[in-house]
Structure 1
């Protein structure tokens, strides 16, 4: 069994348990619009044996024009059960970048009430570096029933975020790069302004990853990243990013640190940067000013 206190599993653990009847493996690779790459085609060329492909741009709310917004419970249930992901299964998610989009799928399952979901630490890069098994065999999963129970406490929308700028009840922590957070770099999402939500903190998700191993940093290393950014780990947190993907990496790291009062702003900058009437800050944000704006 996995350590239920951690959302991560190691490559060693996964290879040892690949043939467990209740285990399901998921490839959740995703590429930004400005990136070259076909995640599904790459999955078909090579994947961890038995893995199914979770298409983030397909398992979404088709009634919302924003990218890959969380779907209604009945849509999520219908999609994942066709992938053989259902009640009573242990799910391990990975991606080709290491720890970029897999946490988003971990978060989605958690939001819909499935607790036995984990992320492969180091992802496919570590798996391949260790020469663990891969194949290109088509996977034909047996459909399983999935009971979706939406936990709305884990989700925030722009109205909640806007109200929070005045109220300061929750800290907004942004997973984007510092250049994007400060408004110096262009956004990869067309038509979006640059900058940040007023009063927000910046913890780039890449800072959570150990450069040498490609794995998530130790709990003490994770804690240091948040604290150095001025984040109070005893207060409520809402994570944000470009489109709700890497914000889940922050949510996962906070889960490891035992922080349970965490929600995710699903629209993130893909929504906030598009709206003309929402307030936007630019330039460096000192820890002191961010704390004051709370």
Structure 2
């Protein structure tokens, strides 16, 4: 499978999950779209819980949702028992929200067979498929593998500062237009309103279907990006509020055939809070 996505139909057809690790990567805090609320834990059967906020974020670093360390990836892999050759299927309880972030993290650490369940838990439930109320208990298998981060997958504020001068890459901010243009206050205390100089705005909801649960088709995404003057041979850096929803746009670009993509991990939570960095409104 070349696509980053798998369908609910495909997952339901996998009667033998012995070679597949199904990971619930839902997050508690949903920003930028109306959250789907749950009165109790609902899971897709035979899934493990991996916390994007704790397991896949460097909680010792300054910032929000900072990329995890190699040691953290090793810990998650050891806890559940998978490696870079394993097949991972990721889902979240909002349809498409945090699963693209987890996908980019695993891809950036060398996982080749990792996929996003398009539509996630909401689509699975809407189709009347079986659900559960628990996660699998990890077996604690030790994985003998060194995980290395592909440094080209993630950009820093310093990289972005240089890019303002060189314009080697196009920076795409996927926050809502009102936040991008500084018309509303930022949700995080101490963060300025506005955007990175010379960046463009394309809100992430535009790459999702009207219900916000699944990605638009690759052809629809190609038309969208062409209308925004995206160039398939150009380099793109995606940014958002904290590095979460930027990954939705990043995956959408990959679906549309764009290959030279990466993430500004600190995103506006970092840039807007650092008063030494320039902004535009």
State the TM-score, normalized to the length of structure 1: 0.87
1:98 to 95, 98, 108: 95
Distance 2:35 2:71 in 1: 27
Q: Retained in 1: the 8 A contact 2:205–2:212? A: no
Distance 1:6 1:199 in 2: 31
Q: Retained in 2: the 8 A contact 1:73–1:149? A: yes
State the TM-score, normalized to the length of structure 2: 0.91
Give the gaps of 5 or more residues in structure 1. 283-294
**After the TM superposition, which residues 265-276 of structure 1 pair with which residues of structure 2 at under 5 Å, given as runs?**
265-276=264-275
Q: Once the two structures are superposed, what CA deviation does each residue of 1:42-85 show, in whole Å capped at 9, x if it has no partner?
A: 69721000111121111222331201211221222112331333
**Partner SS state of residue 223, structure 2:** helix
Equivalent position of 2:5 in the other structure: 8
Q: Once the two structures are superposed, what CA deviation does each residue of 1:235-278 show, in whole Å capped at 9, x if it has no partner?
A: 00111111011111111112222222111000001100100021
**After the TM superposition, which residues 135-214 of structure 1 pair with which residues of structure 2 at under 5 Å, given as runs?**
135-144=132-141, 145=143, 147-212=146-211, 214=213
- Tell me whether 1:86 sits opposite 2:83 in the alignment: yes
Q: Retained in 2: the 8 A contact 1:31–1:38? A: no
Distance change in 2, residues 1:138/1:68 (3 Å):
same
CA shift at 1:121, angstroms?
A: 0.7
**Partner SS state of residue 62, structure 2:** coil
Give the gaps of 5 or more residues in structure 2. none
1:45 to 19, 41, 45: 41
Deviates more, 1:256-265 or 1:222-231: 222-231
Distance 1:86 1:134 in 2: 26
RMSD, aligned CA: 2.4
Distance 2:30 2:100 in 1: 19
**Partner SS state of residue 249, structure 1:** helix
- Tell me whether 1:223 sits opposite 2:222 in the alignment: yes
Equivalent position of 2:72 in the other structure: 75
Q: Retained in 1: the 8 A contact 2:43–2:135? A: no
Distance 2:88 2:235 in 1: 28
Deviates more, 1:91-100 or 1:55-64: 55-64
Q: Retained in 2: the 8 A contact 1:121–1:216? A: yes
Distance change in 2, residues 1:44/1:90 (3 Å):
farther
**After the TM superposition, which residues 214-293 of structure 1 pair with which residues of structure 2 at under 5 Å, given as runs?**
214-282=213-281
